[in-house]
Amino acid sequence: MATPEKPCVCGTYEVLIPQHTNDHGDAIWSRESTDCSGTTKSTYTPGQDAVLKKLLVGAGVDDHPVRWSDGETVIAKAAERWAADLGWADAVRAEIERKRARCPDAHAPDALLLGLRGFLVCGADAGPGCPRRSEAPPAAEEGEHPARQDSDPA
């Protein structure tokens, strides 16, 4: 009898990152996850364990709690605790420390943290070695869709 396919475990983890508070006092957050919806007979679809480790490292660098959910129950823990539960404690902790050392001012109270993907921006002077150095494209003009790429008419 064949083992049935089940959802990849990495898709059950997410990180909420505070962005700002709007004019009405509502907290605005961005959600980061592995965006995995794959199925597997194992625990992870190929390569998704590495994607989950990257999510844990990014959350750990910024001290954001990582949430796990089975659809009914939600558990939030520090990234390092999830890594220990998954058997990756030493590797994830070492990578977090390495990234923090490359951008030591990232935890300053006035640091602006915009997301995990690519470690976009911190309030520090993000030099070329900083994992948070902004490589994001310039912001779209008002009313312009940020993903739209207008071609050069020439």
Answer whether residue 42 is part of any domain.
Answer: yes
Strands lying side by side in the sheet with 13-21:
27-33, 13-21, 66-69, 74-77
pLDDT digits (tens, 9 = 90+) for 81-92: 999 999 999 999
* CA-angle at 54, arms to 63 and 19, nearest 5°: 45
> CB–CB of 57/95 below 8 Å?
yes
Asked if the structure places residue 132 within a domain, the reply is no
Query: Strand pairing partners for 28?
Result: 20
Per-residue pLDDT reduced to its tens digit, 64-106? 999 999 889 999 999 999 999 999 999 999 999 998 888 766 5
In a domain, 129, yes or no: no
Assigned domain for 154 exists? no
Print the domain residue range for 20: 6-104
Residue 82 domain flag: yes
Specify the 3-state DSSP secondary structure of 11: helix
Q: Structurally, how many domains does the chain consist of?
A: 1
Average pLDDT, whole number, for the chain? Answer: 75
Q: What is the pTM of this model?
A: 0.67
Contact indicator for 122, 103 with CB cutoff of 8 Å: yes
Query: Which helix (H) or strand (E) covers residue 99, if one does?
Result: helix 89-102
d(CA 80, CA 57): 8
